[in-house]
Amino acid sequence: MKERVILHADINNFYASVECLHRPEIRNRPVVVGGDESLRHGIVLAKNYAAKATGIRTGETLWQARLKCPGLVVLPPNYPLYLRYARFARQIYADFTDRIEPFGLDEAWLDVSGGDGVLTADTIRERIRRELGVTASVGVSYNKIFAKLGSDIKKPDATTPVSRENYQTVAWPLPVEELLYVGRATRAKLRSYSIHTIGQLAAAPLSFLHGIFGKVGDVLHAFANGQDQSPVMRLNEEALIKSIGNSTTTPRDLTCDEEVKIILFVLCESVCARMREHGFLCRTVAVSIRDNTLFCFERQSKLQAPSHISGEIAGVAMQLFRQHHNWLKPIRSIGVRCSELLPANGPLQLTVFDDDARDKLAALDETVASLRKRFGHFCIQRASVSADRPLGSIDPKGDHVIHPVGFFRNGMLK
């Protein structure tokens, strides 16, 4: 078999670059794109190189960024504009291959096997610069993980190959957190075992990593050793959906059960609407809680019967919360996730106690969804939700339109 040729294209400082392209007067000033501080989403989403030079980091709060750079230009995100540029970039990629797997708005893997990867990467970079007015970095490798690593190594506007011949000298000396899906918690645990570089992770015994992380340890060992074999999906090719969820940072810290109940109903309505759109019921409900010290936990429970009824899901979510949260700290964010999905139109096991009450609740949810589609999300709300306008004003389904696509969506990691 011929060696695969995989590219990972990453548009440099995407949000900030697009904003500076459309606002010539700020191109030479430090610029960040940040979330809505009034909703406590005030973090740096993207920055230009002038802002980066002052020490500003993606993910830090806007007030911290302003301390580092008093003259900082802070812009709200303009997602429709970014989506348009993301489509333009994918049109360029489509001239080279039909295997294009987006990873968020600004990144994508391309399978260009059979061609010259470096030449193709250089051509793509030149076209993005000339046709879109922004720059991109492209990694070239024989697998997706090292291609992603290559695009991160040198920025801006660079092509970096990571091959079977050079990956040990290029990838292995890098800090272990440079490897995809080694986050802060995983990095801390690896460092506690004196694993600081990708090379040290690659050399660690597989049984040792499996003992610490389970299946994730197997995956990370394969990643570090260049053994990723996951395919690049075709553009618009739908992968099997494993779970559906929504989370939100609340407009204020929550201090009582009634406030939590409002947020859970808002989230469960969103999750259930998405399950209906995709034709699913769920068997399991999970609730994640993060307090104001950023301590977080997640608990889950099986349903008595598969469901996509918002009231049922919210009831189980609230029960989980009451069982596992002790109110030692106020709550900053909440998430609800439904898993063990199965087709809504498939056969279901009924019991002798089943009646038409659940069918009526499901029909009510459908009616609410239809009204919201015609007249807007806030045309109809539960009385308990509308009682607190700041908390009830969240629309997680409509507001959170940008969702990075998970690498493991193809079911590689279960």
Q: Per residue in 178-195, pLDDT tens?
A: 998 898 888 999 999 999
Catalytic, out of 19, 25, 60, 107: 107
- Is the pLDDT at 394 greater than 50? The verdict is yes
pTM for the structure as a whole:
0.69
Task: Give residue 414's pLDDT.
Answer: 32
Residue 243 CA from chain centroid, whole number: 13
- Give first-to-last CA distance, the chain, whole Å: 28
Question: How many Å apart are CA 188 and CA 157, to the nearest integer?
Answer: 32
- Is the pLDDT at 316 greater than 90? The verdict is yes
Give span(s): CATH 1.10.150.20, the chain.
Answer: 172-237
The neighbouring-strand residues paired with 297 are: 289
- Per the annotation, the verdict on 340 as an active-site residue is no
Fold classified for 172-237: DNA polymerase; domain 1 (1.10.150)
Is residue 287 within 8 Å of residue 299, measured between CB atoms? yes
Per-residue pLDDT tens over the stretch 260-304: 999 999 999 999 998 988 888 999 999 999 988 878 889 999 998
Give span(s): CATH 3.30.70.270, the chain.
Answer: 1-163
Cis peptide before 390 (omega within 30 of 0): no
CATH match of 243-410 with 3.30.1490.100: yes
- Is the pLDDT at 220 greater than 80? The verdict is yes
Task: Give residue 158's pLDDT.
Answer: 97
Mean pLDDT estimate for the chain: 88
Q: What is the CATH number of domain 1-163?
A: 3.30.70.270
Structure tokens at 96: 């080279």
- Is the pLDDT at 355 greater than 60? The verdict is no
Using pLDDT thresholds of 50, 70 and 90, give the confidence band for residue 346: low
Averaged pLDDT, 60-87: 92
Give span(s): CATH 3.30.1490.100, the chain.
Answer: 243-410
Residue 104, Ramachandran bin (φ over 0: left; ψ between -120 and 50: alpha; else beta):
left
Which strand (E) or helix (H) includes residue 127? helix 117-127
Is residue 209 within 8 Å of residue 294, measured between CB atoms? no
Residue 348's Cβ-side half-sphere holds a number of Cα atoms within 13 Å equal to 16
Question: How many Å apart are CA 105 and CA 85, to the nearest integer?
Answer: 9
Is residue 16 within 8 Å of residue 46, measured between CB atoms? yes
Using pLDDT thresholds of 50, 70 and 90, give the confidence band for residue 241: low
